[in-house]
Amino acid sequence: MTLDTNLEHVTSASELDELIKSNENVMVCCGRMGPMCVPVYAAMESLRDSGDYDSVVFKDMLFDHPEAAVIRSLPECATFRGLPFTIYYKNGKVAKATSSIQDEDQVASILKEVY
């Protein structure tokens, strides 16, 4: 089971762990194919393809997959009530976490802040 996006998918906790250990800047959007999530995936695809963020690895993860518990249970996500959960990792640690819908400008602003 995966998301219908043009992003590469993270399908396991161990894959996520390896990803954030081997890449300095990683953005993971954990959600569904719903109206709050799709705009975030689209923003990620556009920003990835722009060439302005070549140092960032953009990935998605299916929120309902059992392995997504690694994101759902992050302390930074404890108060989140809306999807998607978007996590920005820097040097293997959570640098920022957001929830709910965001447009491309909002995501770009966070990328500039964090990376």
pLDDT for 86: 98
Indicate whether 39 belongs to any domain: yes
Which domain, by its residues, includes 78?
8-106
Indicate whether 60 belongs to any domain: yes
Total-model pTM = 0.96
pLDDT for 3: 93
Burial class of residue 88 (count of CB atoms within 10 Å of its CB; 0-12, 13-18, 19+): buried
Indicate whether 112 belongs to any domain: no
Query: Is it true that the peptide bond before 66 is cis, omega within 30 degrees of 0?
Result: no
Indicate whether 2 belongs to any domain: no
pLDDT by position in tens, the chain (length 115): 679 999 999 999 999 999 999 999 999 999 999 999 999 999 999 999 999 999 999 999 999 999 999 999 999 999 999 999 999 999 999 999 999 999 999 999 999 999 9
Report how far residue 67's alpha carbon sits from residue 60's, in angstroms, rounded to the nearest whole number.
Answer: 13
Q: What is the CATH number of the domain that holds 40?
A: 3.40.30.10
